[in-house]
Structure 1
Amino acid sequence: MPVSATKSLRVAVLADSDTRWKWGALTAQRVTPTGDGLRLDGYLLRGRATPTARQLTEVGVQPDSLREVTGAEFLRVMAEESYDVLVLALVGGGVQAMLHGLRNAWGGSGRRPVVVTGYVGVVYEKLADGLLLRHGADLVLANSRADAERFRAVYEGVGADATAVTEVALPFLGGQPYTGEHDPYTVVFAAQPSVPDSRKDRTYLLDRLIQHARRHPEREVLLKLRSRPGEHTTHIEELPYQKLVQGKDLPANLRLVYGHMGEVLDRTDLLVTVSSTAALEALHRRIPTVVLTDLGVREVLGNHHFTGSGCLASWDQLDAGHRPAPDATWVARQGVAPGGEGSYATAFDAARERIARLLDRPGGLPPLNPYYTPETAPGYLPGILARHHLGPDGAPLPGAPAADKQPGPVRQIVRRAARGAYRHGVQRVAPVIRRMGEL
């Protein structure tokens, strides 16, 4: 029976952070070719960025089941359970490790799910590295036409199969188009955990935001933060703005806010960022958007991705009343459909059709075939697999951490303490050591 006639499909999502869970869960809902719904099972890979309950609630996706797993446990579940689609929403090394682990776990059986992976947002660094670590999935999703072209060029350039590259769009775009100024006029600075990464640069941006609020007391100025103290997102945040703002005299019209980005954008008149994916969310809704040039236009910042967008500007220009005008051609190539949901609604058709064909393939699917193997990358791949407690053949190493049972209260306390110690080291100890090294 063709998949289009099925009532429901079983879909699993493995994610390693709050943002990747958001991308993976929403992607699963958009690309699954079923009319009457799906069963969505979520798996959170245990690690330094495992989402908290608050972060999961903020994402707003309600799976049918959700559990925290180790890599070894997830592979065992995949060997025992029957799924139609599996979305790997992980960092590149995690995707590569799971591809080899799944290949071993499934043992060449054609009765396996369609494996999907991709990127959470703007791809502005480690293009070749990240892509080749994702090679081997049945679908490698590109969030725009521009990304699809770049992805295929990388795969073809190393002699790897590029047919898995499938053009889609970011799955979390949406919301009502911007229709005009709010009262009060609201400026939102979308902070990023790791861009920029120095205390000097982050303090500069914070000071300019405070200065803008003072220059425009009639405006509401919001500092949109990704996570609360003690939480981690996809990227490590060594110098959270909550810490940098301590001791500063904030004007009454400047506030720190958390919550769902879409809800914040509902009241935004000007979105300002260095290179956050929030810029694409705002552009999709026709909200005036500025990508800052104050710290230069540099690859390390990611704002080079926005060259040609018409959105590049400085705080000086914003203070003087500058209103950006996005370039329509650039926006279209980035998978954004400002003011028109029709083209966005069809952005996932190709992925749905490809998955449907793979699910209906006679005899099932061939074994996963990543570009990296012990033969093609003998000095690189074993280390990636070992970090996830897998051997060169993808099999779990002896002593690999497992989670057959829910940990007892003592283990849970110890685990929380260990995570807290790690985060303290990242946010407090590491910056001190770095400054000492610069003396």
Structure 2
Amino acid sequence: MPARTSGESPRGKTRVAVLADSDTRWKWGALTAHRLAPDLHLTGFLLRGRATPTPRQLGEVGVRADRLTEVTCPEFLAELEREPYDVVVLALVGGAVQAVLHGARALWPEPGERPVLVTGYVGVVYEKLADGLLLRHGADLVLANSRHDADRFRAVYEGVGADAAAVTETALPFLGGAPYDAAGDRPYTVVFAAQPSVPESRADRTYLLRRAVEHARRHPDREVLLKLRSKPGEHTTHLEELPYQKLVEKLPGTTANLRLVYGNMGEVLDRTDLLVTVSSTAALESLHRGVPTAVLTDLGVREALGNHHFVGSGCLASWDQLDEGHRPKPDPDWLARQGVAADGPYERAFDTARERLAALAALPELPAPAPYYTCATAPGYLPGILARQHLGTDGRPLPGAVRPATGESRLRRAARSWLRDAARGAYRQGVQRVAPVIRRMGDL
């Protein structure tokens, strides 16, 4: 890819910066960067916040950067002003994407040499479609993980009079792995892919856990794995107030053939014969590999659960049906619309995005970023979005938001890091332990 910005690229590689705010978004952003620019020098940045991934979570993702730094939004913008990047991938929640886009507009208010700005979604888009999309408007490429999503994204932008040219159809970057091979000598393995926030209530989560235990008891020859995203005290993209690890401790009658597992989802799928979930993106990974996949209907098919996204997939089923040996058969047309293709076309899913990226990188200048939201279109909404990332309405850092890079001793930096980690740990304890207790007391 021809370099647009000044300076020499390391060994002629495309210089890519990925800014992510959770482990799952780091996975999406880093793998997307590799799909868009296979020959790259990857610099990673973790946006400081409640879901900043731990070293264990980053190791589980398995995607490494040439350099990885924890930053605030103003610090990241200072990095963009200081260092020449060819591509910047924003793997963030919508509000943070919007803040960076306004910060980039403040850095490049006129056409000029700047990095190509790329963003998108980490998985299934089943809620806040308009809100999330409009917060991402202004990037040069807004990646859609399927034809279905691309059509919806364009409809939203065109419906509010915003330019939809940035919408680009791709696929989830982490689909892949060996095609499903039925269990031979190993035990038949059922994997329940848990989600941090779906379902939300203790009763619903306990119900799902109990049904998994009952399935293991009914089928003692099977291995039933409860695949968890994070350990207690860690956060991922969504808050988890009621970790399954805590619930299973209080559930009587668990069986020896049910185990809790962590690790890379792809490695777990290598030994999976039936993937069960409420609405996890893991279902798309599973379907891509041809693994039998069930999306649960036990708690209803509801927008709040996200399983409505799978209507028409052929994968909807209940624990009762699975207990009796039912194996859902996915609808091929639905799979094609969702960017899930186990027969080869997936390898070309990023061709269009790579072509568009190369065309943008070849331009002598890029126009200033132009988000849909401005102080004229959203005067009661945008200032709060920017302030949460310590930016003013002009997109520039608020006073004191960027600490000087010099003059701080190693001891002082270590102390500040320790205090920040302690504060983050206290926040997580409050979310997972104190807040549920207070809510229960309020119900008395």
Deviation at 1:316, TM superposition (A): 0.5
Q: Residue 62 of structure 1: CA displacement?
A: 1.5
Deviation at 1:402, TM superposition (A): 3.8
What do residues 157-185 of structure 1 show as CA deviations (whole Å, max 9, x unaligned)? 00000000000000000000012124200
Is the 1:274–1:301 Cα contact (8 Å) retained in structure 2? yes
Question: 1:42 Cα deviation (Å)?
Answer: 0.3
1:378 aligned partner: 379
The answer on 1:27 being equivalent to 2:28 is no
Other-structure match for 2:439:
434
Aligned counterpart, 1:285: 289
Q: Secondary structure at the match of 2:249?
A: coil
Secondary structure, aligned partner of 1:239 = coil
Deviation, structure 1 residue 276: 0.2
Q: Normalised by the size of structure 1, how large is the TM-score?
A: 0.96
1:377-396 to structure 2, matched below 5 A, reads: 377-396=378-397
Matched, 1:213 2:230: no
Instruction: State the partner residue of 1:169.
Output: 171
The number of equivalent residue pairs is 433
Aligned to 2:183: 181
Contact 1:310 1:327 in 2 (8 A): yes
CA shift at 1:71, angstroms? 1.1
Q: Secondary structure at the match of 1:256?
A: strand
TM-aligned CA deviation for residue 298 of structure 1: 0.3
Q: TM-score, normalised by structure 2?
A: 0.95
SS in 2 for 1:245: helix
How big is the shift at 1:109? 5.0
- For residue 240 of structure 1, the aligned residue among 243, 265, 273 is 243
CA distance in 2 between counterparts of 1:401 and 1:139 reads 28
> What's 2:400 paired with?
399
2:55 alignment partner in structure 1: 53
Distance in 2 of aligned mates of 1:62 and 1:423: 26
CA distance in 1 between counterparts of 2:162 and 2:111 reads: 23
For residues 252-271 of structure 1, give each alpha carbon's deviation from its aligned partner in whole angstroms, at most 9, with x where no partner exists: 00000000000000000000
Write out aligned runs for 1:115-264 (5 A). Answer: 115-182=117-184, 183-248=186-251, 249-264=253-268
Matching of residue 266 in structure 1 with residue 270 in structure 2: yes
CA drift of 1:107 comes to 3.8
Q: Check if 1:18 corresponds to 2:23.
A: yes
Tell me how large the CA RMSD over aligned residues is.
1.6
> Residues of 2 paired with 1:233 and 1:54: CA distance?
12
**What letter matches 1:20 in structure 2?**
R
Q: Distance in 2 between matches of 1:39 and 1:287?
A: 34
After superposition, give the CA deviation of every residue in 1:276-335 in whole Å (9 maximum; x if it has no partner).
000000000000000000000000000000000000000000011111000000011000
> Cα gap change, 1:125/1:244 in structure 2, threshold over 3 Å: closer, same or farther?
same
Alignment of 1:50-129 (within 5 A): 50-129=52-131
Equivalent position of 2:417 in the other structure: 412
Q: What code does the residue aligned with 1:209 have?
A: A
Gaps of 5+ in 2: 5-10
Q: Using a 3 Å threshold, how does the CA distance of structure 1 residues 416 and 384 change in structure 2: closer, same or farther?
A: same
Give the match's secondary structure for 1:196: coil
Q: Which moved more, 1:351-360 or 1:394-403?
A: 394-403
1:410 aligned counterpart, secondary structure: helix
327, 332, 340: which one aligns with 1:328: 332
List gaps (5 residues or longer) in structure 1.
none
Cα deviation per residue 1:201-228 (whole Å; 9 max; x = unaligned)? 0000000000100000000000000011
2:72, 2:389 within 8 Å by CA — same for their partners in 1?
A: no
TM-fit CA distance, 1:229: 1.3
- The answer on whether the counterparts of 2:3 and 2:86 sit within 8 Å (CA) in structure 1 is no
CA contact (8 A) 1:3 1:356 kept: no
Paired residue secondary structure (2:245): helix
Q: Percent same amino acid among aligned pairs?
A: 74
1:318 match: 322
| Matched AA of 1:303 | N
CA displacement 1:81-120 (0-9 Å, x = unmatched): 1000000000000000110011112343511000000000
